[in-house]
């Protein structure tokens, strides 16, 4: 996963992978059928990891909203916070680079990743945003939701530029909190710009 993320599929050699894993190169052929099989296995592994981390919390948030114990706005803010934390965590570096590369030229690995965690996460987000922004529907609603998600994605996809713009060299707890809170505040403003926000404001 690390190697594919850093050098891409074509740039990664099975020799280097086998060497880093302390195994023989021929074991890749035996266990995964070849380089491509190993790549797909890495994608599946990433999908399972992210699903395990993110989906339970999102399911709980959705349930709380449906039960009426949590305002949808708060659910969205919490969900975005969780996604931002994941993107800002250094452990997400390998798989994030893998997914970003795969998105530039999506293949079967992307199909699996999307179905595994992107689809359920984004659909939950669209539904929740739809509850708050009742003035929107269809593609307009989805466009607003992707904007919110986009702020989080850019934390990884354009990390190098973001760090320089923010004028930071290391990503510590303080920096993470500042970024997460800014994204959450931006999202709250977007959600409150709908009819409900206007009514209850000032």
Give the interface with its own copies as residue ranges (CB under 8 A): 5-12, 97, 100-106, 110, 114, 118-119, 122, 126, 139-140, 142-155, 157-162, 164-168, 175, 178-179, 181-183, 185-186, 188-190, 192-193, 198, 201-202
Q: Are 129 and 190 in contact (CB under 8 A)?
A: no
- Report what 34 binds from its own copies, DNA, none; CB cut-off 5-8 Å by kind: DNA
Q: Please say which residue, 14 or 188, places its beta carbon nearer to its own copies.
A: 188
- Report what 57 binds from its own copies, DNA, none; CB cut-off 5-8 Å by kind: none
**Is 20 a binder of DNA (CB under 7 A)?**
no
Site for DNA in 173-202 (CB under 7 A): none
Contacts of 94 (CB under 8 A, 6+ apart): 1, 2, 5, 6
Q: Please say which residue, 128 or 179, places its beta carbon nearer to its own copies.
A: 179
**Is 35 a binder of DNA (CB under 7 A)?**
yes
53 burial (CB, 10 Å; 0-12 / 13-18 / 19+) is middle
C-alpha dihedral sign at 19, 23, 24, 26: negative
Distances (CA, A) of 73 to 119, 192, 193: 20, 9, 12
């Amino acid at each position: 996963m690390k190697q594919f993320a850093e050098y891409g599929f074509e740039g990664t050699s099975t020799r280097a992978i086998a060497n880093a894993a302390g195994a023989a190169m021929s074991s890749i052929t035996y266990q995964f059928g070849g380089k491509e099989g190993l790549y797909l296995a890495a994608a599946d592994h990433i999908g399972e990891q992210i699903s395990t981390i993110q989906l339970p919390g999102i399911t709980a948030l959705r349930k709380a909203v449906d039960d009426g114990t949590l305002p949808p706005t708060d659910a969205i803010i919490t969900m975005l916070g969780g996604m931002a934390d994941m993107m800002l965590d250094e452990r997400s570096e390998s798989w994030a680079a893998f997914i970003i590369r795969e998105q530039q030229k999506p293949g079967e690995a992307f199909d699996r990743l999307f179905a595994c965690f992107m689809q359920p996460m984004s659909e939950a987000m669209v539904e929740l945003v739809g509850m708050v922004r009742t003035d929107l529907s269809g593609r307009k609603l989805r466009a607003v939701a992707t904007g919110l998600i986009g702020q989080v994605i850019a934390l990884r996809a354009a990390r190098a530029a973001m760090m320089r713009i923010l004028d930071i060299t290391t990503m510590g707890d303080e920096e993470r909190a500042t970024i997460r809170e800014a994204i959450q505040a931006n999202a709250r403003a977007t959600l409150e710009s709908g009819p409900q926000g206007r009514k209850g404001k000032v």
